[in-house]
Structures are given as structure tokens and as C-alpha cells.
Chains A and B, each alone.
Chain A
Amino acid sequence: MAVITVTINDELVSGREGQSLLELVREQGIDLPTLCHLDGLEERGGCRLCMVEMAPGNRLAAACVTPAQEGMVIYTHSERLVKYRRMILELLFAERNHVCAVCVMNGRCELQYEAYTIGMDHVRYDYLTPDLPMDASHDRFVIDHNRCILCTRCVRVCDSVEGAHTWDVMGRGVNCRVITDLNQPWGTSQSCTSCGKCVQVCPTGALHAKGSTVAEMVKRHDFLQWILDGRENHQWTMRNGEPMESGR
């Protein structure tokens, strides 16, 4: 694999050809916020939080879906980017009913984390307060559309890792909703294997285990890498509850 040189925030760094900008930036220890990205899932490029500025021309590009190329000059935290990231987070908070005080993921939510990390302490836009349902028809899990940010991690993990494709998206614009099967109650889904991967990868309190109350829900992402390592390298052993170091 060819080595490439990229300038990140005025510093020369080496990367591998074919790597995404996001991967390269994070390898340098630079924290780039993301919500739709999750290691192990195919990229979506939808949340727009990981946008970086590319010189010349200062064009913005989503780092997760932009392949790193030789000679690229990028900035990850310009004033403009920080401002836009904050605005995007404000838009997400305004879109649905993210009432942290009464949310199962309060304190562990990725949306909440990105917001306070970036310094978003209030939302300037209209709260849209849509009237959205919850579906608690499944034996073990609940989908609360009020907390959903449409990152589609659930859709992708269900399709590409579990292979069930129970989840998909319906509608358009702010009326989009993740659905199970053809918008049937989750509990009646024929395709759902109840594996719970969707619940574990969900960044917010939208998908949670039944019975959890405010700030009780804990989610694990490590299983994903473990499964993928197992499939690719046939390593299925866990050490101390952590997945084994993969061969790579």
C-alpha cells in the first residue's frame, strides 16, 4: 500500500493510500466529531460533522467519505468549521424532542457529548417538536423516534453485519423515519432476529432496552469490531471481556 503525505493543520503527516481522511485525521490524535460514522460500518456522509476545509479554495468535504490523496492540504478546526458544526448540532437538537433530562441515554449519549464538547450551550433555532410515536411492541427493545437523529447506523448494521435488513428509512426530509420491515410494528417483524445490534450502535436514546429508565442505558460498540475481526481473521476469542487484538 502506497504511502501518501497530507498536510493537516499545517503539519505534514503520512497516511496510506485508500484511507479515508477521517481515519487519517483520527490517527493523528485529532478529534473530529462524527455521528453517522461508526468504525466497522460502511460510510454514509450524512451528519456533516466531520467536514474539513480543503485548500486551495477552502472547499468543505466530509472527511468520512473523502479518500485521502497525496498532497492534500486540509484544516480540521477552522473557525468556520467549528461554527458550522455547532449549527448542525443545534439543528439536530431542534429537529426532534431531545429532552435530555428524561432520556434513557442521558450522560452517555453521543449527540449530547458532541454538543457539550463543541460548546453548544443553547439552540438558536425553532424547536420543531414533532409528534412522534414510540414502538415498544418488541419483547426486549424500544424505538423512540423522538430521539432518533436518522444516522441510519441501525439500518446499516442490520443490513451489512446481521444480514437481516429489518431496518430501513421511509419518508423524506424531516418526515423521514426509520422503520422495521414495511413499517410494521417491530414486535411483529418477520425478519428481525432480535440480535440487538441496532440497539448497541444507536448513538442516542432512540433505540434502547426495554425497562431502562433515565440515564440507565449503556451501549457497547466493541462487539462490532469483534464480529468483523472474527469474520475476516477467524479470531473469536475474547480476553478479559475485550476482543482479542486482531492480526492487523
Chain B
Amino acid sequence: MNRADLQTMAQREQEKQGKYRCRLLCCASTPCLSSGGAAVQQALEDAIKEQDANAEVAVVSTGCMGPCSRGPVVTVQIQGENDVYYENVTPEAARQIVADHALNGQPVQEKLLPSDLPFFAKQTKVVLSNSGLIDPERLEDYVARGGYLALAYALREMSPEDVCTEISKSGLRGRGGAGYPSGLKWDLVRKAPDDKKYVVANGDEGDPGAYMDRTLMESDPHRVLEGMAIAGYAVGADQGFIYVRGEYPVAAKRLERAIRAAERRGLLGSRVLDSSFSFRIDIRIGAGAFVCGEETALMASIMGRRGQPVPRPPYPAQSGLWGHPTLINNVETFGNIVPIIEHGADWYAAIGTEKSKGTKIFALAGKVENTGLIEVPMGITLREIVFDIGGGIPDGREFKAAQTGGPSGGCIPAQFLDTKVDYESLKALGSIMGSGGLIVMDDQSCMPDVAKFFMEFCMDESCGKCVPCRVGTVQMYRILQRITDGSATRQDLQNLEELCTMVRETSLCGLGQSAPNPVMSTLRYFREEYEDHINRRTCEAGVCEMTEVPVLELVEELPRRIRAAAIRNQ
């Protein structure tokens, strides 16, 4: 296939879609599927069949539309009208939507989601521009929206160096969390002297509550593949790997299909788009280890070794997979490539702040009215995200903190709600951008308890290679356990703080180095809560039961317990 064929394919598909007066887009990504999306789609199809409306109404199973807590979500697209969203659609409601709205133009009021909701209005969809609008399992759908044209353009009009320069100019930074300038990384790999190079997409998204990468892979797999192919061309690689988390079977299946379809059409594989550039992409499925999101551990896993990080340098760009230069970017970073090539670096650089360009996808979760997947320009304030897009805190409760960056991140308290969300500002607050998990907490959250939750996660996920992370996380968890059960002493708090600094500075990889972050940031902003737990044995949020006592008080407590147990046994 060449560029002309690509355009023909796009045209044909557009015509085909144009034949339908009405298209019913039914979300088929994991959140909606788990709330009954498959039955809704079946109901839509059945209803259309019953009404004998197959010629004018089409049902399309698409990717994520965003408001995941309101799923299953269905969009009604009628030619010449604005899209209409329905929430919590049941099979019954689906039949009614077909009968009333699709065929008679009368929206079904009770399930309607107003389209001027700030949830939609405040978002800027760059990476997710196709998400929820195309069928991720059909290459034609992607091509009809201009897919693979960016690759074709890059292959024909740009040199590999041009591509790297363009990415550098766009100001794109790694979306995996660390925010390393992508263009710089690409250029390093491009310049690395080796005949064999690799491109790796990191889709081992392990942060609790985060599902940005999953959604992108499920909703628009070809965009990731195209981004990787452009990267392959730019750095001189002929082989790519997508490392997909084992818990993402839907994403893996759709990527697999997408790769097959693209290879069949000559968009991947040998002689891509009739050029001299060849690029294969293979999928590697993770086996449930969080640490495999760390790039060196991920590469070990791809190579079939135990998923453990190795010290850097050498960096993957110098010596990665099987000793060859390897470009590793997050899946979302690759999702940004197509729009940059398509619209140009200047267009992209106009979005966002001075140092953080473009948009960022967040998985908004926790105590907010609208949870779901959002894409916002960098530099938006936390307040806008929580109160406008998120719709504020439910049940009239107070906002207490927002947790960004998952187990590697920190908590941002209410006084910083007007902070602009970008790499530098979040770092200054003791948190990180992270891969995009954003958990909102209200006044019913106990901060030591939150810290304990994340510490338990890091403890379970430590690979065990270096001592500070392997044992340090357990010790920190134990102290947090004592703080939240009422048996902690002042000495514990001092030990905890010392351990935090030590583990951060001496651990081998990012997992250990950032494991203390949730503790350190909650200590920074909510120290009095820790002190109340220790000195007054109270948990203001009412989360911790405080059933234990400090060890010296066992003198009275233990005989009391033994007596109580004896009475129970009688």
C-alpha cells in the first residue's frame, strides 16, 4: 500500500459511513464492558434489526468516551446534529434510544448526559481525538480519520533527523512520569552507532487507579502503532515491542488485531508504505509485576529474564535490548507523535505551559462526581480538574487532597488547588506528574492510612534486588501500621522519616527511590494527623480503629484481653 491507496481507503470508508443517517457509538472499553456494555450493544443491534433499520442506522463499537463511572455510555450521531451522550444505558434504555432517538429524533431524556457539561467542554482531545469515535478493531475507521498519513508524510517528506528535530521542537516530554524530553531521547538513540536498534512502548501501567494507557491501547491502537513506526523511522530501528500489562487482555487483543491488519495492508512489516523502511511490532505481555514498568526491568522481561532493574548507566539509549540502543517511551508518549507530525511542532507547542507542552491524560478517580478519563492541556489548575471537569466533591463534603502519580507520587492539599498542573509545579509540591493517576480525597480520608495503602503497594511490588527497597518498605509499612492501629511511639515517627530519606537516596531504581513519596508528602502537609495518631491516639477522619496500645501499656491491656477471652470462651 502506498499513500494514494491510503487515501482511497479513507475515502471509501468515509462514503460508507456517510450512507448512515444515524450512527450509534457504543463504548466497548473495559469500564463500560464491565458495567454491561456488551449487552447494551447487543440490545441496540437487536432493536435496529427488529425495526428493520439496518440501512440507515449503524451500531459501532468504539473506545472510551471518558465518563467511565457513568457507563455503559452510548453516543448518538445524527448527520447534521450535535452528538448526544447517554449514560448508564441498560438494554431496555438501548431499545428506547433506537426507537425514540435514532428513528424518531426524540432524545430519551432520563439517561441524557448534557453535552455542554464542563466534563466535556474543558477537555482538549489531542491524543484521545479518535477515542470513542472509531471502532478500534477496524483499520478502515482509523484511516478514515487520517490515520497513517503522518507516517506516510514522515517517510516521504522528512529525514530521520527532521523527525527528531520536530519532536524536540514540539517540547513533548515523556508521559510515563519522569518527563524527560522525548526529542532528546530520540536523537540519542538515532545517533547511537549500531546497526540494530529497538523501539519499545511501555504499556505496563501499574499505578493503582490509573488506566490512561489501557484506554489508549483499547480505543485507538493504530495511533500507538503509527507513533512507534514514526519513532522507528526516526531512530533507525526495524523492530518494536509493545509491553502490555498482563491484566489488560482487551488491549492486548486489540493491539494484536491492529498489528495484523496494518501488516496485511503494508503499513507495518517490511517496506512500510512502499518505502525502504521496514518495521515489525511484537507484543509482549507482562506477568503482573509493577516493577516491570521500570525501563530496565521491562527490557529484562522482554528478553525473557527475571523482571529486575539494573543500574543505569548504561542507559537504554546506549545499550538496551540485547545490548543494542533502545528507545523506550510510554504508550501515551507515542500517542502524541501523530498529532505532532500531522499539525506540526508549533501547533503542538502552543498548547500547555512554557516547560510542559501539549495535553495530559488523567484517570480521575476517588471522591468526585464525575470519575473517568480526561485529557486536559498542561497548565490547567487542579481546581478546574476537580471542580469543573470532576464536578466537585459528592455529598457536600470538603476537598482534602488530590493524589497524583500513584505510589510514586504525593498528596496535594487544598491550599494548592490553584496550582497549574505541569511537571515542575507538581514536583515543587512534593508530588509528581506521574503517568496520570489522579485520586481525589475528601475529609473522610485519613492521610496516614492513605500513605499506608501506597506503602503496602510498594512493599508488595518491590522486586527484592536492593536492600533499602526490599526491607525498607516493609519497615516503613510496619511503622505506618503502628501509627494507624494506635501502638506507635514518637520514636517511630523519627525512624519513619529517617527511613524515607534513606530509601529515597539509596534505592537502585525508581520504584524504591519514589516509594517514600506518599509518606513524605503527607507528612509535609498533614503532619498534625500523624501526631494526633501517635500522641492522642485519635484518627480525626474516623478511618483508623486504633485498637492497639503502645508496648508499655500492654502491662494493663494484656491481662484485660486475656480475661475478656476467657469470659468469651466460657
Q: At the interface, yes or no: A33 with Cβ under 8 Å from chain B? A: no
A173's partner among B310, B462, B507 (CB-CB below 8 A) is: B462
Q: At the interface, yes or no: B129 with Cβ under 8 Å from chain A? A: no
Q: At the interface, yes or no: B252 with Cβ under 8 Å from chain A? A: no
Selected A-B contacts with CB under 8 Å, 26 pairs = A44-B465, A45-B508, A46-B467, A48-B466, A48-B467, A48-B468, A48-B506, A48-B507, A48-B508, A62-B508, A87-B498, A88-B506, A91-B475, A95-B471, A126-B478, A150-B464, A169-B464, A172-B289, A172-B291, A172-B461, A173-B459, A173-B461, A173-B463, A175-B464, A176-B463, A176-B464
Within 8 A of A (CB), among B441-488: 459-468, 470-475, 478
Q: At the interface, yes or no: A60 with Cβ under 8 Å from chain B? A: yes
Contact indicator per residue, chain A 151-182, by CB within 8 Å of chain B (1) or not (0): 00000000000000000110111111000000
Assess whether A94 is in contact with B461, with CB atoms less than 8 Å apart: no
A121 to B310, CA, bound (A): 32
A47 to B460, CA, bound (A): 19
Interface centre among B310, B461, B475 (most CB of A within 10 A): B475
Assess whether A92 is in contact with B467, with CB atoms less than 8 Å apart: yes
Q: At the interface, yes or no: B274 with Cβ under 8 Å from chain A? A: no
A197 to B305, CA, bound (A): 23
Q: At the interface, yes or no: B495 with Cβ under 8 Å from chain A? A: yes
Within 8 A of A (CB), among B126-158: none
What chain A residues lie within 8 Å of B506 (beta carbons)? 48, 51, 60, 84, 88
What chain A residues lie within 8 Å of B499 (beta carbons)? 87
Number of interface residues of A (CB under 8 A): 33
A171 to B463, CA, bound (A): 8
A5 to B235, CA, bound (A): 35
Contacts A48-B506, A124-B495; A94 near B463 (Cβ below 8 A):
no
Show the binding face of A for B, using Cβ within 8 Å. 44-48, 51, 60, 62, 65-67, 83-84, 87-88, 91-92, 94-95, 124-126, 128, 149-150, 168-169, 171-176
Contact indicator per residue, chain B 474-518, by CB within 8 Å of chain A (1) or not (0): 110010000000000000000100110010011110000000000
Q: How far is the CB of A238 from chain B (nearest CB, A)?
A: 35
Assess whether B474 is in contact with A173, with CB atoms less than 8 Å apart: yes
A198 to B19, CA, bound (A): 73
Q: Which residue on A lies nearest to B472, using beta carbons?
A: A91
A44 to B470, CA, bound (A): 15
A67 to B310, CA, bound (A): 14
A112 to B502, CA, bound (A): 21
Number of interface residues of B (CB under 8 A): 31
Show the binding face of B for A, using Cβ within 8 Å. 289, 291, 306, 310-311, 313, 459-468, 470-475, 478, 495, 498-499, 502, 505-508
Q: Top 4 nearest A-B pairs by Cβ distance?
A: A176-B464, A91-B471, A173-B462, A65-B311
Q: Which residue on A lies nearest to B468, using beta carbons?
A: A48
Assess whether A173 is in contact with B470, with CB atoms less than 8 Å apart: yes
A125's partner among B291, B475, B507, B508 (CB-CB below 8 A) is: B475
What chain B residues lie within 8 Å of A176 (beta carbons)? 463-464, 470
A88 to B503, CA, bound (A): 9
B462's partner among A60, A67, A172 (CB-CB below 8 A) is: A172
Contacts A126-B478, A172-B289, A176-B464; A84 near B471 (Cβ below 8 A):
no
Contacts A46-B508, A94-B475, A125-B475; A88 near B289 (Cβ below 8 A):
no
A47 to B306, CA, bound (A): 18
Interface centre among B289, B462, B466 (most CB of A within 10 A): B466
What chain B residues lie within 8 Å of A173 (beta carbons)? 459-464, 470, 473-474
Assess whether A125 is in contact with B311, with CB atoms less than 8 Å apart: no
What chain A residues lie within 8 Å of B313 (beta carbons)? 67
Q: With A150-B470, A169-B306, A173-B474 given, name 5 new contacts (CB 8 A).
A: A48-B508, A60-B506, A91-B467, A91-B472, A149-B467
Assess whether B467 is in contact with A45, with CB atoms less than 8 Å apart: no
What chain B residues lie within 8 Å of A124 (beta carbons)? 495
Q: Which residue on B lies nearest to A51, using beta carbons?
A: B506
Q: How far is the CB of B495 from chain A (nearest CB, A)?
A: 6
Assess whether B464 is in contact with A84, with CB atoms less than 8 Å apart: no
Assess whether B311 is in contact with A62, with CB atoms less than 8 Å apart: yes
What chain A residues lie within 8 Å of B505 (beta carbons)? 60, 84
A47's partner among B463, B464, B467, B475 (CB-CB below 8 A) is: B467
What chain B residues lie within 8 Å of A44 (beta carbons)? 465
A20 to B567, CA, bound (A): 66
